[in-house]
Structures are given as C-alpha cells and as structure tokens.
Amino acid sequence: MQPLHSGYLLCIYFLCRVFRRHEFFPDSMMVPVSDEAVHEALQRVFGFRGFRPNQREVVRALLDGRDVFAVMPTGGGKSLCYQLPAVLLPGTCMVVSPLIALMKDQVDGARANGIRAAFLNSSLTLDDRRKVLDELQSGSLDLLYVAPERFAVESFRKLIGKVPISMAIIDEAHCISEWGHDFRPDYLQLSSLVTMFRDVPVAGFTATATERVQLDTLRRLSLREPFTVRASFDRPNLTYSVLFKDGVDAQIVSLLRNHSGKAGIIYRTSRKSVNDTAAMLQAKGFRALAYHAGLGDEERERNQNAFIRDEVDVIVATIAFGMGIDKSNIRFVIHADMPKSIENYYQETGRAGRDGEPAECTLLFSQGDMAKLHFFIDTMTDEGEKARALEALRKVASFASSGVCRRKALLNYFGEHYRKENCGSCDVCLGHFRSVDCTVEAQMLLSAIARTDERFGASHIVDVVVGSKNRKVKECGHDRIKTYGVGKGKDKKFWRQLIDELLARNVIEKSEGLYPVLILCEKAIGVLRGETTVSMAVAAVARSTVGATAGGNEEGGDPHFFEQLRALRKVLADEQGIAPYQVFTDRTLRLMSARCPRSGEAMLAVSGVGEVKLERYGRQFLGLIDRWCREGEGSGGDA
C-alpha cells in the first residue's frame, strides 16, 4: 500500500503545481488578483497612473505564481514589479539584495509609500534583528530584504520554511555570474533557492546589458519555466555627447555651470585625479566631494550620504562609486577620463535620470587618454586579459570618435537594433558633432612639422600654424616659413585635436623624453601627397544639450517654484531621516510646479503621489503651492 500511496500523493502534488502555474487551480496561498485590483493598488500605493514597459506583464506573472527572469535597464522600474505583488499577495515577499546600502534605501523608499518593509543584515543590532524576525513571524511584513549570506544560516532557512512567503526575489541577479564584474560568491548559493521555495514564485531581476552575463545568470538561477523579459536598453531621457578633452578642469567647470545646483557624478580614473578635481571644484565654490576606495570607510560613507541627501551636488569618483546608489535625481554624469569599456560607460551613465527626467551624459575624450590607459594595460601579466582590455578600450575610442548616433552605437553594442534615423538627443543627431574631412589641415600641420625639421613639440607647431606672435616663434624664425599662419582661421583647440588624431592614426609620433617633439611617420607621405585622407569628428557647437532630450519633459513649471518645492522636500526628508528623492522624485515635483494642484484630490492625480504620501506630506506641499499661487495672483493684480 505504502508505495502506491506516496506515488499517488506525488502525482497529485505535481498536477497541482502544473495547474497552479497555469492559473487553473489557484491553491490556498494563491488568491486570484484582478487587473482592477492591480491598477487600484498601483495608484493608491505608488501614485502611478500606468505601467512602464514590461511592468504589467511581470506583475501579472508573479501574481499568477510564475517564476520570472527580468532584464530591465536601470530606471526601468524593477522594484515596482515585485513591490506591487508584495502588497497584493498574502505572506511576505523576500528580496535578496547584494548591498547593505541598497537595502536600506529600498526599505526607506517602500516605507515612504506605506509598504510594511524591513531588512535583515549584519548592520542591525541583535535587538533590531529580533524585532524584524518577530515581525516576520507575526506576518506583519509585506517585504523583507535580506543579504545572500543569510541563506547559509541554518536557523534562518528553518525559519523561512515556517512562515508564509509570497515569493522570493533576487535583485541584481547578475551578481551570481562569475562573468560579470559584480560577481558575489555569496550569490552562488542562491541557485538552490527554487528548492527552498517550492510553492511560490522565484524571480531574478537584473540590469546587466551583457548577453553573456544574462544567459549565465539565468542558467545559474535554475528557475522553473520562467516568464522572461528582456526590455530595451534604450534610455530615452538621457542625452549623450562627446567633447574633445582639452583643458579638463575648465571643461568640467563649464559643464557644471550648465547644471548649477543639480546633482551629478564626475568619473575619473585615478584616486589622485579624483582628489585633485574635487579640491579644484571646492576651491571654486562648488558643493563637491570625493569618493574612491582609498578613503576610509567612514569618510566614504559620509560623502556618499551627503550626495544622496542633496547636501552636496557633485560627487567626483572612481568607478568604485555607483552600485548601491538608487538616487533617482542624478541630472548629469561626466566622464572626465575614458571609461574602461562600453559596458562600464553604459552602467556609469545609466545612473543618471532614473526618475525619467532629462539627464545629460558627457564624455571628455582624447586619443591621448588611450595612450595612458595602454600604459596601464601593458603592466598586465595575463595575455588574454590584456588583449580583452585593449579590445574594450578600442571600442570606446571608436564609439567616441565615430560620427554614428551615440544611442544607436550603444544599443548596437548590446545587440539591440535602434530603428529611428535620428534619436534627437545625442550630439551627433543634434548636429553638434560631425565627422569632417581635415586632409588639407592635416597637410598644413605635417608641413609645419617638416619645415621646422621635426624638432618641436605640439604647442609650438600649433603656434606656427595659427600664426602666433610669441617670442619663441620669432626667435626661431618660424614666422618666415611658408606654413606660418596658414591655419589662423581655426582655433588652437582644433589644431590640438587634429594632432591627437594624427598621433592616434600613426601619421605622426611623439619622441620620448622630457620635451617630446613631433616626428613624421611613413603614413605622413601619403597624407602630404593627398593619397590618404584624414577625417575627424569635431564638435560643431560647444553647448549643453540638456533640454533637447526627447523623453519625459512634457510639462515644465516655473523653475523658481520648482526650487521652492525642492527645498521643502529637503526639510521633510531630513525630518524623517530619508533621502529627498524618497519623499517625491524630481518628476513629481516638476509636475506639481506645472499643475499647481490645490486640493488633495488634485494632488493624487500627480504621478508619484499615493495615499500615504498625500497623508504625510500633502498638507505642507499644498500650503506652499497655495502661497505661491496667491503671490502670483497678487503680483498679477498689481501690474
């Protein structure tokens, strides 16, 4: 009897699982949730009118008990995909998250919407940990964020087996892949998660754009016929531009002046350049701080928090900065040095504009940076690694110097085809950056180098070509040679960039030593004879592209009013010890400044205002809006 009996049970069990997954027989844990209920919660809890691409489908799959694997770009709205089902389903949604800072941020954000959320990690005191475990056991948590290493703790695994869990989510799931640069050994044990959570859906979320890492992640998670989503990696609200790097400090300052008072990240390669740039900006009165692995833990955390909380505008950082930053109102990212790869560039720029509002990404590029990075790569001992690093660098250089739409080039790199002819929000498509034939100008430079007997450095050659009246030129008699002043129609920056280009193409080279001079290479002959042409990508307009952005900016209000709303947001955030963007995002404030809602109902119609936020902050914001409108009416009446 016994074998037959257990076989029978097993059979029923599998049938139930199969059917449950196909929505026929929801079991006791599975309460069917209607689309109306989903929509109602989207509006009530999050204050959103509609879904972002793919959110609806992912939410539905989870509600129906299906495993999910979702690849969505940063800012795509991944957290809503599981937070919404978490409030609709009975039991606690468990979220595995790799970083302590990220957990706290997510929990603060969820709580700001009235979701019952908590986290468990090593940063908690024993008492706090107990409190969270009590809440978990009493069923009063919608969401519990845990660190992956928890799953190695036997007592925790046992506890999980006893409490009702609605689903298990693996955030930043690519941390499980050893191919990715965020690999976390602790994540490896998560592949057994599906065996721990037999009856509830398990989902992996990631923003990694690299296909190899995506596939590896999916394989390692061993999900059960997951509903799979791979969203477009296009970030329509980001504007991309590349500027020829020349006098980097002045360029950074000028870019910052275009973004006065806005939050941004400046990436630099070395700790020293991070420190120098931060000090330079502080001396000029910018609210900027440094961030790199060489700072003490405490200082790093302090600087990061000051940035998250809008206490400084700019963080100057090495690539150590970024993961674990959910700050949604980053308005610009400047790469003052060349990124290591296109993946890096995409991830680092991707931190801008999570809230969907316009943000600007600027890369300062010169071929000279390539040479510096080559030098570092040459010190690598592993030949394979060296070759990969060089190839990655070459692709960045080609991205920066080609005249192809930046968006198209980025998406193409990740295997995605961008259909539009003109993206409308990159320097190439906006006509700010063009590839122009510079063969004649190159001939002028080469001739100047030849006529001065290949004995002078770049700045002197430029002086000769533009017809500078400086002493050295006169003393050498170079104001009498044929090429003197032939290039005065173009500025020095143009000529320096062209030298950079000719160096990169090995038409000329620099001698070694303290005072390097420019020397002609064999290829120079072809250029001088007109057999080889030289083209160069030049910035046609050196101006900020912000505001040209296609996405998002459909409603604009008075910027002064926006600033007042921002100031109120900061006060309220400080009172509650959370980040300002968790009170309301920039987008929500901008909509408020444009629409001036005067009642609770009107306020709820603003995207990002849910019931809990209305209750917590509505009075203050309505008060401010009221005062602003009255003053406006008052001044109108006087006129």
Question: What does the binding site for ligand ADP look like in residue numbers (CB under 6 A)?
Answer: 48, 51-52, 55, 72, 74-80, 326, 328, 354-356, 585, 607
Return the one option of ligand ADP, Zn ion, none that residue 48 interacts with (CB less than 5 to 8 A, by type): ligand ADP
484: helix, strand or coil: coil
Place of tokens 């080039």: 409
Return the one option of Zn ion, ligand ADP, none that residue 429 interacts with (CB less than 5 to 8 A, by type): Zn ion
Q: Which is nearer to ligand ADP, 347 or 483 (CB)?
A: 347
Place of tokens 């991309």: 240
Q: Which is nearer to ligand ADP, 72 or 373 (CB)?
A: 72
Contact in structure between 410 and 342 (CB atoms under 8 Å)? yes
Q: DSSP states of 259-316 as a string?
A: TTT-EEEEE-SSHHHHHHHHHHHHHTT--EEEE-TTS-HHHHHHHHHHHHTTSSSEEE
404-412 CB contacts, 8 Å cutoff, 24+ apart: 404/428, 405/429, 406/240, 406/241, 406/242, 407/234, 407/240, 410/233, 410/240, 410/342, 410/345, 410/346, 411/232, 411/233, 411/234
Amino acid at residue number 33 = V
Return the one option of Zn ion, ligand ADP, none that residue 51 interacts with (CB less than 5 to 8 A, by type): ligand ADP
Smallest gap, in angstroms, from Cβ of residue 224 to Zn ion?
41
Return the one option of Zn ion, ligand ADP, none that residue 308 interacts with (CB less than 5 to 8 A, by type): none
User: Which residues neighbour 588 within 8 Å (Cβ) at sequence distance 6 or greater?
Assistant: 47, 606, 607, 608, 609
Residue nearest to ligand ADP (CB): 77
Report the Cα 331 to chain-centroid distance in Å: 11
Return the one option of Zn ion, ligand ADP, none that residue 92 interacts with (CB less than 5 to 8 A, by type): none
Q: Which is nearer to Zn ion, 215 or 542 (CB)?
A: 542
User: Which residues neighbour 607 within 8 Å (Cβ) at sequence distance 6 or greater?
Assistant: 47, 48, 49, 587, 588, 591
- As a whole number of angstroms, the distance between CA 314 and CA 324 comes to 17
Q: How far apart are the first and last CA of the chain?
A: 96
Interface with Zn ion includes 537 (CB under 5 A)? no
Which tokens go with 215? 């596939």
Per-residue x/- track, 410-429, Zn ion (CB under 5 A)? -------------x--x--x
Report the Cα 389 to chain-centroid distance in Å: 22
Return the one option of Zn ion, ligand ADP, none that residue 361 interacts with (CB less than 5 to 8 A, by type): none
Q: Which is nearer to ligand ADP, 356 or 487 (CB)?
A: 356
Q: Which is nearer to ligand ADP, 229 or 252 (CB)?
A: 229
Smallest gap, in angstroms, from Cβ of residue 51 to ligand ADP?
5
Return the one option of Zn ion, ligand ADP, none that residue 173 interacts with (CB less than 5 to 8 A, by type): none
Q: Which member of 259, 300, 327, 407 binds Zn ion (CB under 5 A)?
A: 407
Return the one option of Zn ion, ligand ADP, none that residue 413 interacts with (CB less than 5 to 8 A, by type): none
Q: Which is nearer to ligand ADP, 151 or 584 (CB)?
A: 584
Q: Which is nearer to ligand ADP, 115 or 507 (CB)?
A: 115
Smallest gap, in angstroms, from Cβ of residue 105 to ligand ADP?
9
Label residue 113 exposed, middle or buried (CB < 10 Å: 0-12, 13-18, 19+). Answer: buried
Q: Which of residues 145-174 bind Zn ion (CB under 5 A)?
A: none
Q: Which is nearer to ligand ADP, 55 or 121 (CB)?
A: 55
Q: Which of residues 252-291 bind Zn ion (CB under 5 A)?
A: none
Q: DSSP states of 368-415 as a string?
A: HHHHHHHHHHHT---HHHHHHHHHHHHHHHHHHHS-S-HHHHHHHHTT
Smallest gap, in angstroms, from Cβ of residue 361 to Zn ion?
12
Regarding beta strands 433-437 and 535-539, do their DSSP bridges make them parallel or antiparallel, or are they unpaired? Answer: antiparallel
Q: Which is nearer to Zn ion, 44 or 395 (CB)?
A: 395
Smallest gap, in angstroms, from Cβ of residue 8 to ligand ADP?
45
Smallest gap, in angstroms, from Cβ of residue 88 to ligand ADP?
15
Amino acid at residue number 146 = V
Alpha-carbon separation of residue 216 from 210, 224, 271, 438 (angstroms) = 10, 15, 33, 46
Return the one option of ligand ADP, Zn ion, none that residue 114 interacts with (CB less than 5 to 8 A, by type): none
Q: Which is nearer to Zn ion, 184 or 407 (CB)?
A: 407
Interface with Zn ion includes 405 (CB under 5 A)? yes
Return the one option of ligand ADP, Zn ion, none that residue 426 interacts with (CB less than 5 to 8 A, by type): Zn ion
Smallest gap, in angstroms, from Cβ of residue 565 to ligand ADP?
16
Among candidate residues 30, 61, 82, 86, the one with its CA nearest the CA of residue 227: 61
Smallest gap, in angstroms, from Cβ of residue 615 to ligand ADP?
18
Return the one option of Zn ion, ligand ADP, none that residue 369 interacts with (CB less than 5 to 8 A, by type): none
- As a whole number of angstroms, the distance between CA 81 and CA 23 comes to 19
Size of interface with Zn ion, in residues (CB under 5 A): 5
Number of neighbours of residue 329 by Cβ within 10 angstroms: 24
Per CB under 5 A, residues contacting Zn ion are 405, 407, 423, 426, 429
